[in-house]
Amino acid sequence: MKILKTDIPDVLIIEPQLFGDERGFFYESYNEKAFLDKVGISSHFVQDNHSLSIKNVLRGLHYQIDQPQGKLVRVVVGTVFDVAVDLRKSSTTFGQWVGVYLSSENKHQLWIPPGFAHGFLVLSEYAEFLYKTTDYYAPQYDRTIFWNDPDLAISWPIEDEPIVSAKDKVGKLLQEAEVYS
């Protein structure tokens, strides 16, 4: 496993060690001991999620104001542009974002700690997206920041108007949103 830092040091790219031959490949997508030893994070995961989205679907930017979730995310089919936005008011990187390409080809994973909003844009015909979370989904605490908030100025690799959910159409701007202390 190789750990790569992003522009926001708490958000990490994880490159698994891949074993492959003419039959295919094998890799450990998660190992609690290796995650603690190499990444230095002892988060306990309580929920796994799996989504399928078609090309140009943009999900996010989502977070839970209470019961914040750390997420370990990866793509098993297709390609997405994955984004994490720091919502920790006390952080030196508050309001900053990092974007990473995750795909079934590169097999990279992204660690997004609690205190971040998260979203992704599907770039392939469709994508299957998996994520492990450190707390349970709690709809009463679910919040959304507009994916196109001009203050965030996220450089989404968008070709056409993205497909967003009704929930994501009624998000808030960062300056109006509830954030973490």
**pLDDT (tens place) for every residue of the chain, 181 residues total:** 899 999 999 999 999 888 988 988 898 888 888 888 887 777 899 999 999 999 999 999 999 999 999 999 999 999 999 999 999 999 999 999 999 999 999 999 999 999 999 999 999 999 999 999 999 999 999 999 999 999 999 999 998 999 999 999 999 999 999 999 9
**Residues 6+ away with beta carbon under 8 Å from 30:** 45, 72, 132
pLDDT value, residue 63: 98
The verdict on whether 118 is a catalytic residue reads no
Residues 9 and 94 sit within 8 Å (Cβ to Cβ): no
Dig out the tokens for 93 from the structure: 């990187």
pLDDT value, residue 41: 78
Residues 61 and 171 sit within 8 Å (Cβ to Cβ): yes
pLDDT value, residue 27: 85
Residues 96 and 174 sit within 8 Å (Cβ to Cβ): no
Q: Where are the domains of the chain?
A: 2-176
Phi, psi (deg, nearest 5) at residue 146: -55, 130
Annotated active-site residue in 108, 131, 136, 180: 131
The verdict on whether 131 is a catalytic residue reads yes
pLDDT value, residue 32: 85
| Dist. CA 71–CA 116, nearest whole Å | 9
CATH 2.60.120.10 fits 2-176, yes or no: yes
**Residues 6+ away with beta carbon under 8 Å from 170:** 144
Phi, psi (deg, nearest 5) at residue 72: -110, 110
| Dist. CA 107–CA 22, nearest whole Å | 18
pLDDT value, residue 127: 98
Strands of the sheet containing 109-112, edge to edge, are 2-5, 12-15, 109-112, 71-77, 126-133, 47-54
Annotated active-site residue in 62, 63, 108, 118: 62
